[in-house]
Amino acid sequence: MRTNVRRNVAAALASALAVTALAACGTSSSGDDKPQASGSSTDAATPLDPKAKVTISIDCMPPAAKAAELKEWKEDVAEFNKTYPNVTIEGRSTPGQCLEPPRFTAMLKAKSQPDVFYAYFTDLQQVLDNDGAQDVSAYVTPASVPALGDIDKSVMDVLRRDGKLYGVPTSNYTMGLLVNRKLFQQAGLNPDNPPRTWEEVRAAAKKIAALGNGVAGFGEYSVENTGGWHYTATMYGLGGDIVGPDGKAAFNNATGRQIVDNLRAMRWEDDSMGKTQLLKWGDLQKQMASDKLGMFLAAPDDITYMVQQLGAKYENFGMGPIPGGAATLAGGNGYMFKKGSSPDQIKAAVAWLNFKTLTIGKGQFQYDRSKADGLPVGLPQPAFFTGAGKAKDDELKAASATMPVANFKPFLDNPVPGKPEPVKAQEVYKVLDKVMSGVLTNKDADPAQLLGEAEKSVNQVLGNQ
């Protein structure tokens, strides 16, 4: 779902170029018509030779409006060129989001994507359907990406299909329970110990709603595909699924009914979800930022949005794992490599992405620089490192944090396995919106009927009826 609703939280992870090489509308340089320079090698397992001369176009360079991110980008290109002086990076930027679905689709169909193009995890199938990405399995190795062993395998696997790797991650997210610490404290709740089950969520929501003054304890989406997105996240947390191994709808069962029954109880019996419903992305953030909402399901970057766009303060928020904790909806973004790129173009791209987005203490993970530049430091994600890599990254992040990282300790200390979105996610979410809106707007709605109709419609979407 976040392919449609999220802000571009990865703008600072995108590509750019040094001032002397800046090309606002760099042209794609893929294809094998480019001569291989001295030092080049066609052996995929051999990292880029520093003497190789190669040009690559890269998507999602920070625009001028993002002055701090663009400044850091230029610094990183200059630093990268100290090792690879013959690599020219042609950056492309857009004034809005790096990826706008209609433009992205048109780009793929026209084969006009840059050599290295930005994509959400959920875009892989669309890219492959348009024969748009190069298999880079042989190029991404511990030799070219030293931290590869510390990158969460589940994150890397999202960019694989049939055993082939088509990209590398730059950011990831998993969903949890976002809480308003101020309201928790006012309601006599411990914000350092957010609810871990839906029974606990319901009990806490009642106490928060009892504060009055238009305060709701828990909030939920129900339109524009966001309701189905959150229904999916809730189902994952309880150990259920939306689409089963047989390719059919798998939510019209006891677990699916539990979700609907719980929402019905909070909305109509407890009156802890507020009177206003049919909410979409952005509505809950406004309520939370204005201290009118105690909890909702979210990813950590929602906090940055509330601070930067809505005037909230980082210290007012905390996070815990998604209730149930069996699994959590996961997503993110990364870069893919245009089909037909030369070996040296792929190697140069891997070298750049390794430096900019996959090296602890460098590029996007150079937290002391981000702090000095006024950028936020301390959010739990991106967080795709594991083991010793995670420990080192956590240490560096905490040392330069611009927000109280302890507020996210329950979320960080209780990791939940990430699970990708279901197939045909947006179409499925649109159907499931009706379940969410039905139970939240109609006191007499029949949960069994809502789920039965949704099951039939989802199976039609999936081509099983």
Report d(CA 90, CA 81) in Å as an integer: 13
Q: What is the pLDDT of residue 383?
A: 83
Report how far apart, in Å, the C-alpha atoms of 381 and of each of 90, 165, 451 are: 28, 23, 34
Report the predicted TM-score, pTM, of the whole model to 2 decimal places. Answer: 0.78
Under 8 Å CB-to-CB from 231, ≥6 apart: which residues? 242, 251, 259, 429, 432, 435, 436
First and final C-alpha spacing in the chain: 24
Pairing type for strands 328-337 and 54-58 reads unpaired
Q: Mean pLDDT over residues 254-275, rounded?
A: 98
Tokens (6 digits) for 146: 């030293």
How does residue 465 score in pLDDT terms, banded at 50, 70 and 90? low
How many Å is the maximal CA-CA distance in the chain?
74
Task: Count the helices and strands in the chain (H runs, E runs).
Answer: 17, 12
Please give the helix or strand (H or E) that residue 87 lies within, else none: strand 87-91
Q: What are phi and psi of 118, to 5 degrees?
A: -80, 140
Under 8 Å CB-to-CB from 449, ≥6 apart: which residues? none
Q: Which of 128-142, 412-426, 434-448 has the lowest mean pLDDT?
A: 412-426
Report how far apart, in Å, the C-alpha atoms of 140 and of each of 7, 143, 196, 252, 261 are: 28, 8, 38, 41, 47
Q: What is the pLDDT of residue 41?
A: 64
Report angle CA 262, 217, 427 to the nearest 5 degrees.
Answer: 55
Res. 68: pLDDT tops 60: yes
Q: What is the DSSP string of 155-224?
A: HHHHTEETTEE-EEEEEEEE-EEEEEHHHHHHTT--TTS---SHHHHHHHHHHHHTT-TT-EEE----ST
Res. 430: pLDDT tops 60: yes
Strand, coil or helix: what is 39? coil
How does residue 73 score in pLDDT terms, banded at 50, 70 and 90? very high
Under 8 Å CB-to-CB from 12, ≥6 apart: which residues? 62, 66, 68, 69, 72, 73, 364, 375
Q: Mean pLDDT over residues 218-233, rounded?
A: 96
Tokens (6 digits) for 211: 């504060």
Strand, coil or helix: what is 305? helix
Res. 216: pLDDT tops 90: yes
Q: What is the pLDDT of residue 25?
A: 32
Report d(CA 346, CA 47) in Å as an integer: 10
Strand, coil or helix: what is 111? coil
Strand, coil or helix: what is 264? helix
Report d(CA 332, CA 173) in Å as an integer: 6
Res. 5: pLDDT tops 60: no
Report d(CA 460, CA 454) in Å as an integer: 10
Nearest to 98 by CA among 72, 118, 124, 68: 118
Pairing type for strands 418-419 and 328-337 reads parallel
Q: Which of 20-29, 58-67, 397-406, 452-461 has the lowest mean pLDDT?
A: 20-29
* Helix, strand, coil % over all residues of the chain, rounded to 5: 45, 15, 45
How does residue 269 score in pLDDT terms, banded at 50, 70 and 90? very high
Q: Bridge-partner residues for 173, per DSSP?
A: 331
Res. 6: pLDDT tops 50: no
Q: Mean pLDDT over residues 84-111, rounded?
A: 90
Res. 18: pLDDT tops 70: no
pLDDT, tens digit (0-9, with 9 covering 90-100), for 326-381: 999 988 899 999 999 999 999 999 999 999 999 999 999 999 999 999 998 998 88
Sign of CA dihedral 193, 199, 205, 207: negative
pLDDT, tens digit (0-9, with 9 covering 90-100), for 127-166: 999 999 999 999 999 999 999 999 988 899 989 999 999 9
Task: Locate all alpha helices (DSSP H) within 84-136, ordered by sequence.
Answer: 101-110, 124-129
Q: Tell me the domains of the chain and their CATH numbers.
A: 2-174+332-399 (3.40.190.10), 176-298+423-461 (3.40.190.10)
Res. 14: pLDDT tops 90: no
Nearest to 331 by CA among 448, 236, 259: 236
